[in-house]
Amino acid sequence: MTRITFLPTSHLAVVWCGVAAALLFMFQVGAAQAQAPAPAPAQTGAVDVGITDRAGVLSSGDQDLLRGETDRIAFPLQVTRVEYLVFDDDGDNLNDTTERFAQDARPDLVADDRKKWAPGTLIVANDTSSRKVGIYCGDDVCAALDLFEGRHLDGALEAMKDPMRRGNHAVGLLSGAQAAADPTVLAPEPEGAPGWLPWALGGAGVVAAGAVGAGVAASRKKKATTARERYDRISREYGRIAGELTGLDVRANSLRSPLADAELRSQWEDVRDRFLSLDTVMGRIGDLRPDSTDAEFRAKAGDIDTAHTTVDQMLAAEQNIDQLFRMEQGDSDVRRRQLGDLHEDMLAAALGTKDERLAAEARALDARADDLARDTRSADFMDRYARLVVDYRLVVEAIRAREMAGVETAKDAGDRHAPRLYDRDWRAGYGYNGFVPYYVVSSWHAHDVQAAQAASSSTNTGYSNASFSGGGGSSGY
């Protein structure tokens, strides 16, 4: 009789891991072999090289360099000519600039139907004014070099940028042609799912499905936990604030300094009225208990989030109203703290601006704040503080207009404003007569710069001419 020996569970796990690893290796190798395009055969004859320099930045030596070095590039047979174009148009879209130039002045660069780039053509372009580079190709060239769009096009454009930034236009153009011919030049993978995920899912579907399931479960658990924590805070604070709301409203409306202007009062009315409207929301979530299930908390997470946001803002408004009230009543400690925050912002403005006159004005205002800090019991303290805020607003606005207006506002900027009464980073004077502190406007500017850099570095493959669908694209540097 044949004797069957069963392996221990731990041994079976090791065996299955080995099998899975082997399968994944085979899938990886197979995928790599399937995805790797066959290299296009390199041609032995020289390609035709054309150069158009509308910006006047290429010397005769530069043009000789482009012709000589382009002949050394191992292009596939599909590439029969390389056209180098340099513009000085400062247009919004280099794709449009190049396409219009070809249609109007160089019809040989477009196909017979005038809807694509001419077969056999590789175009490398630069606009010195708009600081954009472009690479374009006929369909056959795009297919051979994988340049229609994607990581190789992105990488080839990126190879042009550093020389262009240094003003070396010839090397930048040549780098674009060389990178276009080199299939190993690839832009980094975009952040997100790793490149091996598709075949890993295919080769180990059960394992991956389990991992995805675990991730979903963890996300659901986190959502329920967050809802519980927020509900607990709401339960503690909502009733207390509701009981003290009348007194808080009286205190808010008793503020009499110049800082308590119509804008500040409207901010208080906004958060107060939103808090009063929570009665309906609290009714919908009032049946939750500490022993309620995760599913019950998840089902009401939206209402809990709404209530939590409003309660949190009411807590901040309560604290800020109290600070302003105490400031008006002559509390020296509160007055010094508020002046201290203003001092830090003025110092940041003086150090941050490149304009010496504005820096000097910021320092002069800081000196006034220092003088006021030594006279916190003055009867006209609040009036002097308000005047200081108004004068400082003019300096910040001048810095913003002169040094922060050159970058287009980010599309996600929305309704930008100073911190409001119900924000935790509100300070006395924020929003008064439109005052926005320097640290806020500088953070907006930093965000705009980052957004502009991200937009300019991304590849644009579109044309305003809807009937034109040539391959390739452009990117800013």
**391 falls within a domain:** yes
Domain around 429: 332-405+417-452
**222 falls within a domain:** yes
Is the separation of the CB atoms in 97 and 91 below 8 Å?
yes
429 closest CA partner among 463, 375, 389: 389
d(CA 218, CA 225): 10
256 plus 279 within the same structural domain = yes
Tell me the per-residue pLDDT of 388-420, one tens digit each, with 9 for 90 and over.
Answer: 999 999 999 999 999 998 666 777 677 899 999
Per residue, the 3-state secondary structure of the chain, as one string, reads CCCCCCCCHHHHHHHHHHHHHHHHHHHHHHHHHHHCCCCCCECCCCCEEEEEECCCCCCHHHHHHHHHHHCCCCCECCCCEEEEEEECCCCCCHHHHHHHHHHHHCHHHECCCCCCECCCEEEEEEECCCCEEEEEECHHHHHHHCCCCCHHHHHHHHHHHHHHHCCCHHHHHHHHHHHHHCCCCCCCCCCCCCCCHHHHHHHCHHHHHHHHHHHHHHHHHHHHHHHHHHHHHHHHHHHHHHHHHHHHHHHHHCCCCCCCCHHHHHHHHHHHHHHHCHHHHHHHHCCCCCCCCHHHHHHCHHHHHHHHHHHHHHHHHHHHHHHHHHHHCCCHHHHHHHHHHHHHHHHHHHHHCCCHHHHHHHHHHHHHHHHHHCCCCCCCHHHHHHHHHHHHHHHHHHHHHHHCCCCCCCCCCCCCCCCCCCCCCCCCCCCHHHCCCHHHHHHHHHHHHHHHHHHHHCCECCCCCCCCCCEEEEEEC
Burial label, 195 (beta-carbon count in 10 A; 0-12, 13-18, 19+): exposed
d(CA 187, CA 458): 11
Model pLDDT, residue 92: 86
Is the separation of the CB atoms in 205 and 93 below 8 Å?
no
d(CA 155, CA 188): 8
**362 falls within a domain:** yes
160 plus 61 within the same structural domain = yes
337 plus 436 within the same structural domain = yes
57 plus 174 within the same structural domain = yes
**283 falls within a domain:** yes
d(CA 440, CA 436): 7
Identify the segments of the chain with pLDDT beneath 70: 1-45, 190-215, 406-408, 412, 453-457
Residue 30, CA distances (Å) to 189, 202, 346, 401 in order = 21, 12, 63, 58
Boundary residue ending a domain (327, 354, 372): 327
**466 falls within a domain:** no
Model pLDDT, residue 202: 54
Model pLDDT, residue 26: 41
261 plus 296 within the same structural domain = yes
Model pLDDT, residue 201: 47
Structurally, the chain folds into a number of domains equal to 3
Residue 71: give its domain's CATH number.
Answer: 3.10.310.50
Model pLDDT, residue 160: 97
163 plus 269 within the same structural domain = no
Model pLDDT, residue 12: 36
Model pLDDT, residue 414: 73
Q: pTM (2 decimals)? A: 0.60
251 plus 265 within the same structural domain = yes
424 plus 320 within the same structural domain = no
Q: First-to-last CA distance in the chain?
A: 78
Boundary residue ending a domain (149, 173, 188): 188
Tell me the per-residue pLDDT of 187-217, one tens digit each, with 9 for 90 and over.
Answer: 887 654 445 444 444 554 555 456 556 667 7
231 plus 300 within the same structural domain = yes
**200 falls within a domain:** no
Model pLDDT, residue 3: 40
312 plus 346 within the same structural domain = no
87 plus 171 within the same structural domain = yes
For residues 183, 188, 194, 199, the Cα torsion angle rounded to the nearest 10 degrees is: -10
Q: The sheet that has 81-87: what strands, in order across it?
A: 48-53, 81-87, 121-127, 132-137, 471-476
d(CA 429, CA 341): 11
**272 falls within a domain:** yes
Rg (alpha carbons) of the chain, rounded to whole number:
33
345 plus 398 within the same structural domain = yes
Boundary residue ending a domain (292, 327, 362): 327
**34 falls within a domain:** no
